Amino acid sequence: MLSAARLLLPENNAYFGPDRLRDTEFITFAWAAVPGANVYTLALYREDGGRRQLIQRWESSAITSKAIEVSLLRNGTFVWQVESLKRAANGAIERRGTLSENRFTLSLPVIPQKTANDPGKVYGQ
């Protein structure tokens, strides 16, 4: 059994509000390398009333971070899990690691409906 990956970013129970989302188009998930592991899987869930709904799962070879577009998300609480694996040359899993998981919350207020202005008399040629 491989040891659990130490999750780095985003920190556990991180909060993503307007200030944090205004300037970022991606949320980067990062973890520390696990000795003996050559593959990592990252799974992202949305928690809804105690149930977990899988949004997407990624598998990477020896890479310990993944940037995900915020456009995949919406308001709510999310769980992200990393599992370290050791795969043989033929792809078969030789050893599994312990699952590591963190939570983060994304909350954006509803944008109130606004109106466009009448430009009035405008001229062209």
Partner 1 sequence: MIRAKSMVNKDIPVLRNLPVPLLLGLFSLWLVSGTFAQDTEPEGDYRFEQRFVQRLSWEDDPLVFRYEVVIEIERDGEYTEQLRESTTENFLSLSLRPGQYRYAVEVYNLLRQLEYTMDYVYFTVLNALRPEILTISPEAFFPKTRSPWQITITGRNIDPEALIMLRPLGAPDGQEIRPRSTTFKGETLLLIFDKKELPPGIYDVYIKNPGGLADSRGILTVHEKSEAAGEKTADTRFTRPDIIISAGYVPAVPLYGGLFRGDAFESAIFPLGFAARVGVLPLKRNWGNVGAELNASWHKLEEQKSNYTVTAHDIGLYLNLLYQLWLPNRKMALNFHLGAGINWVADFYFDYGDGKEDPMTSAYLSLDAGFTFQWRFWGPLFLETGLDFIHVFSPKDQSQPGYLRPTLSIGGQF
Q: Least distance (Å) from partner 1 to the CB of residue 112?
A: 7
Q: Least distance (Å) from partner 1 to the CB of residue 71?
A: 4
Cα 4 from Cα 97, distance rounded (Å): 6
β-pairing, 76-87 with 93-96?
antiparallel
Give contact residues for partner 1 (rule: CB under 8 A). Answer: 18, 21-22, 25, 69-71, 73-74, 106, 108-109, 111-125
Q: Which is nearer to partner 1, 22 or 51 (CB)?
A: 22
Q: Least distance (Å) from partner 1 to the CB of residue 74?
A: 7
Q: Which is nearer to partner 1, 46 or 86 (CB)?
A: 46
Q: Which is nearer to partner 1, 18 or 50 (CB)?
A: 18
Q: Name the token pair of 67.
A: 């940037």
Cα 26 from Cα 40, distance rounded (Å): 20
Cis peptide leading into residue 18 (ω within 30°): no
